[in-house]
Amino acid sequence: MSNTATTGPRQDNRRLQLLDAAARLFRAHGYHATSMRDIARAVGMLPGSIYYHFPSKDELLLTVYEEGVRRIAERVDAAVQAQRQPQQRLQAACIAHLEMLLDQSDYAQVVLRVVPDNTGPSQRRLIALRDQYEVRFKQLVAELELPPEVDRHYFRLLLLGALNWAQTWYRPGGDPPRIIAMELLRALYGGENQT
Amino acid sequence: MSNTATTGPRQDNRRLQLLDAAARLFRAHGYHATSMRDIARAVGMLPGSIYYHFPSKDELLLTVYEEGVRRIAERVDAAVQAQRQPQQRLQAACIAHLEMLLDQSDYAQVVLRVVPDNTGPSQRRLIALRDQYEVRFKQLVAELELPPEVDRHYFRLLLLGALNWAQTWYRPGGDPPRIIAMELLRALYGGENQT
DNA sequence: GCTTTAACCAAACGGCCGTTTGTTTTTCTA
DNA sequence: TAGAAAAACAAACGGCCGTTTGGTTAAAGC
C-alpha cells in the first residue's frame, strides 16, 4: 500500500495487439462492419476483455486514429527534413505520404479510409487530428514557387486529393507508391521544372 | 394530363420513395450504419414491406448505385457534347461531375462515398459500374494536348482523385462546385493555356 | 360483382451487436 | 512467500439487425 512510484505497470502487451488488430480490421472492413467480437477473436481474447484496455469501441477507433496520424506525420516529417529545395521537400512528403497510405501502415490507412461521419461521439476529434496533419502540406505549398494565377489553397487540395484517392485504385503489383507519387507530381507540374 | 398509359401495373410510387430515402441515408451515414428500419421509417413504411420492392439490402444498394451512375453519366455527357474544344470539353465534364458530387444528387454521392468493400455479394458489380463511368474521362484526356512527359494515365487519376476527394472537404457556403472545378483545373494547368 | 393481384401490415424469427458484471487466473512486488 | 494489482475469463444483459411469413386492404380486369 506504499505510494512508491518505482513500480511500473505491467508491459500491457495485449493492448498493442488489440490496436494492431483493430487497425487492420477497420482498414479492411470499415468501422461499422467490424465488431468487437471480430477484434477479440483476432487476438485470441474474449469480447468483454477488450473493455479492460479501452472503455468503448469509439475510443478504440480514436486511439487507432491518433496513432495513425502520429506515424504518418513522423515519417513525412523525417522525409521533408532530409531535403532543402522546396520542390524536393514537397516531393519527399508526397512519397512518404503515399507509401504509408498504400503499403506500410494499417493505422495511417484507417485515418483516410474510415470517414469520420457518424462514427460516434469523437468524430470531431478525428477530423481535428486529420486537419492537424494536413497543416504540413499547407506549409510545404507555401514555400513553393508557383505561377501567380494558381491558388495555393486549391493547389494543396488538388495534390492531397489525388494522393489520397490513390487508395481507391491502387493494387499491389503495379507501380510502387514512390513511382506513383512522382508520376502524379509530373502530371501536376506539366513536366516544366523537373529535377 | 393524359400522359399516363391506361394499361399496365399500378404506379408503384413507393419504390421511388424507397430509393430516394435509401440514397439519402446511405450517403449521410454509410451503408452499414443505415438499417432497413431507418429506410422504412423515412418513407412511413414497416421494415418488412421493403422486401416487396427489393429482395435484399444489398440489392437496394446496387439499385441506388446503378441509378447514381446513370444520373451522373447523363449529366456529364450532356455537358461534354455542348463543347467542341478538348480543353473545354474536359472542363465541362469536371464541372458537371463536381456539381453532381457536391450538390445535386444523393445517388451520385453514394457511388463515391460508399466504398464497395465488403458491402455484400454485388461489390464487383459496383466497382464495374464505377469503372464504366470513368471511361468517359479516359477519352476526354486522350483528346487533350499534353506535354509529352505527362503520362495520361496518371493525369486522369490526378484529376479524378482531386475532384472526388472534394467530397471530404466541401462544405456548402464556400465556393460553389463550378468555381472549385475551375480553380482545380487552373492549378493543374499551371495557368498556361487557359481559356 | 367477382376474382385477381399489387401493395402493405403485423408479428415474429434467429442472430449478432456493444457492453456489463462477477469471478478467476496470472504476474509482480513487498 | 503472502498478497495486491493487473489481466483475462465466463456469462449474460437489453437491443437492434436483416429477413420471413401469413394475413389484410384496395384498386384493376374480366
Residue A166 lies in a domain: yes
> Degrees (nearest 5) of the Cα angle A186, B169, B86?
45
Whole-number pLDDT of residue A195 = 45
Q: Evaluate if residue A5 carries a pLDDT over 50.
A: no
Say yes or no: B127 contacts chain A, CB-CB below 8 A.
no
Q: Which of A40, A53, A29 is nearest to A109 (CA)?
A: A29
Whole-number pLDDT of residue B153 = 97
Q: How far apart are the first and last CA of chain B?
A: 46
Query: Is A77 (CB) below 7 Å from strand D?
Result: no
Strand C contact nucleotides, protein CB < 7 Å: 6-12, 16-22, 27-30
Rounded Cα distance, B155 and B86, in Å: 15
Q: Which one of B26, B131, B149, B160 makes the best mutation probe of the A interface by having the most chain A beta carbons within 10 Å?
A: B149
Q: Which domain holds residue B129?
A: 61-189
Residue B44 lies in a domain: no
Question: Mean pLDDT, 10 residues at a time, over chain B (195 residues)?
Answer: 40 87 96 96 96 96 97 97 97 98 94 82 90 96 94 98 96 96 93 53
| Cell of residue A166, nine digits | 490513390
Whole-number pLDDT of residue B10 = 56
Q: Do the chains contact at A147 and B191, CB–CB below 8 Å?
A: yes
| pLDDT band for position A18 (cuts 50, 70, 90) | very high
Output the domain CATH number for residue A181: 1.10.357.10
Whole-number pLDDT of residue B11 = 62
Mean pLDDT on A152-161 = 98
Q: Which of residues 117-146 of A touch strand C (CB under 7 A)?
A: none
Q: Evaluate if residue A25 carries a pLDDT over 90.
A: yes
Nucleotide nearest residue A1, measured CA to C1': D4
Residue A36 lies in a domain: no
- Residue B183: list chain A partners with CB under 8 A: 151, 154
> In whole numbers, what is the pLDDT of chain A averaged over residues?
90
Count of domains for chain B: 1
Residue A169 lies in a domain: yes
Q: Evaluate if residue A98 carries a pLDDT over 80.
A: yes
Whole-number pLDDT of residue A79 = 98
Residue A112 lies in a domain: yes
Q: Evaluate if residue A57 carries a pLDDT over 70.
A: yes
SS3 B158: helix
Rounded Cα distance, B182 and B166, in Å: 13
Residue A146 lies in a domain: yes
| pLDDT band for position A122 (cuts 50, 70, 90) | confident
Residue A97 lies in a domain: yes
Rounded Cα distance, B98 and B110, in Å: 14
Whole-number pLDDT of residue B5 = 37
Residues in chain A: 195
Residue B35 lies in a domain: no
